Amino acid sequence: MELFDDPRLTAMGLFAEVYTGLADKTSAVFAEAGLSDVDFETLIRLARSPQQSLRMSDLAAQTSLSTSGITRVVDRLEREGLVTRQACATDRRASYAVITEAGTARLRQVIPRHLEEIEVWFTGLVPPDRLAEFLDTLRLIRDVVRPCATAGVTSRVDAARG
Amino acid sequence: MELFDDPRLTAMGLFAEVYTGLADKTSAVFAEAGLSDVDFETLIRLARSPQQSLRMSDLAAQTSLSTSGITRVVDRLEREGLVTRQACATDRRASYAVITEAGTARLRQVIPRHLEEIEVWFTGLVPPDRLAEFLDTLRLIRDVVRPCATAGVTSRVDAARG
DNA sequence: TGCGGATGATTGCGCCAACAACTGTCTACA
DNA sequence: TGTAGACAGTTGTTGGCGCAATCATCCGCA
């Protein structure tokens, strides 16, 4: 059946296979450090944000988890001391998740191994010029499929300024 | 913190964002037809296999779901009449999942819309020559991270011979 | 100032998938 | 031929996540 072997279908399937294959490798590294994929993504997004913190809903938007999902992720991470909740001074509905020292320490512990895995299974496999073009193509698609991937990037003082 | 902005990290993050962004688009199409992502992947893998069937464990290997996961997926699909279980003549432990007429009909119903989405959000965004190179790169990685993606591709008669 | 709708976060509920334990079957080897 | 261990598939249990409902708060507008 031709329809079932359409090149677009196989392209999409290939994409999925590669991504899930890579994710399997990296999540094994996270698991060694007692983190899930979601935990890691949450922590690193906090670490890279101004004041090492994000509003819960911005975290949700960035991770494409639901807000209820984020509530629970932060619950878990808070229980482990990797993250703290902080009330928002200007909006009493909102709260910030802030990564703690223990959180950044956990990241520093796990990232070197994570980078090794990425190198072995992804970036190191592809010649540099092709890798650059590959990433350009990814960015091209990203800008279309995920226009709001940068939710909450303005710092908290900027946001307070309005 | 330099470590948190390593280019390999951002490359991996970009990959993840693009994949999940695309998956969101396509799973909406599946949902309209009453299928989950997993349902669709299962059905199309069966449709493309010899005799439109695969052993449960081969299905598990191809989809990187656990065998118990496959059991339940096939349970659901069987309940909807899209798949049937068939005993294996040569190994009474094994059973085959076989896609039904209704199953292929469902695929034929959903694939055109699915292809449109892939075109709009992925293949249509990238100039043809760059797309070709992009896919080459994906294949390069795939062959390394997923060496056994072809579990069970030998047909049932071949398997019986061997 | 006061009110209605919008928004941020949390919680109850249900579904889905992994892990581990289990049953039945196969196979290698004595 | 008989047995031990491997293997295919299913089921009980557990934990994660999304959806919808809920509560508190904010904001636009009269």
Interval A137-148: pLDDT, tens: 999 999 998 775
Asked if the model's pLDDT at residue A160 lies above 60, the reply is no
| Residue closest to A23 by CA, chosen among A118, A161, A115, A93 | A118
The shortest C-alpha distance from A53 to chain B (Å) reads: 14
User: Whole-angstrom Cα distance, residue B112 to residue B86?
Assistant: 29
> Is residue A53 within a helix (H) or strand (E), and if so which, with residue range?
strand A53-55
Q: Is A3 an interface residue toward B (CB < 8 Å)?
A: yes
pLDDT at A152: 59
pLDDT at B152: 59
| B158 or A148, which is more confident | A148
pLDDT at A161: 40
Between positions 29 and 58 of A, the ones with CB within 8 A of B are 41, 44, 47-48
| A71 or A64, which is more confident | A71
Q: What is the CA B117 to C1' D20 distance in angstroms?
A: 28
Asked if the model's pLDDT at residue A162 lies above 60, the reply is no
As a whole number, mean pLDDT of residues A3-15 equals 95
Looking up residue A135, the CATH number of its domain turns out to be 1.10.10.10
Whether nucleic acid strand D comes within 7 Å of the CB of A35, the answer is: no
| Residue closest to A1 by CA, chosen among B43, B155, B108 | B108
| A152 or A11, which is more confident | A11
| Residue closest to A48 by CA, chosen among B31, B13, B117 | B13
Amino acid identity of residue B124, one-letter, is: G
Interval A71-128: pLDDT, tens: 999 999 999 999 999 999 999 999 999 999 999 999 999 999 999 999 999 999 999 9
B50 confidence band (pLDDT: 50, 70, 90):
very high
The separation between CA B105 and the C-alpha centre of its own chain, rounded to angstroms, equals 17
Interval B25-47: pLDDT, tens: 999 999 999 999 999 999 999 99
B11 confidence band (pLDDT: 50, 70, 90):
very high
Q: What is the CA A113 to C1' C11 distance in angstroms?
A: 37
Non-local CB neighbours of B66 within 8 Å, separated by 6+ positions: B60
Angle at the Cα of A51 from the Cα atoms of A148 and A156, rounded to 5 degrees: 60
Q: Which residue in the set A111, A133, A144 is minimally distant from B133, CB to CB?
A: A133
User: Whole-angstrom Cα distance, residue B110 to residue B112?
Assistant: 6
Residue with tokens 């001391």: A81
User: Whole-angstrom Cα distance, residue A127 to residue B41?
Assistant: 31
Asked if the model's pLDDT at residue B156 lies above 80, the reply is no
Range of the structural domain that residue A29 is part of: 2-161
Contact (Cβ atoms closer than 8 angstroms) between residue B88 and residue B55: yes
Q: Which residue in the set A18, A64, A107 is minimally distant from B138, CB to CB?
A: A18
Across chain A, mean pLDDT equals 92
Q: Under an 8 A CB cutoff, do A145 and B9 touch?
A: no
User: Whole-angstrom Cα distance, residue B104 to residue B102?
Assistant: 6
DSSP symbol at A146 = -
Number of domains in chain B: 1
pTM of the model: 0.90
Contact (Cβ atoms closer than 8 angstroms) between residue B111 and residue A3: yes
pLDDT at B147: 72
Q: Under an 8 A CB cutoff, do B15 and A22 touch?
A: yes
User: Whole-angstrom Cα distance, residue A72 to residue B141?
Assistant: 34
Q: Under an 8 A CB cutoff, do A122 and B44 touch?
A: no
Give strand ranges (E) for B22-157. 53-55, 83-87, 95-99
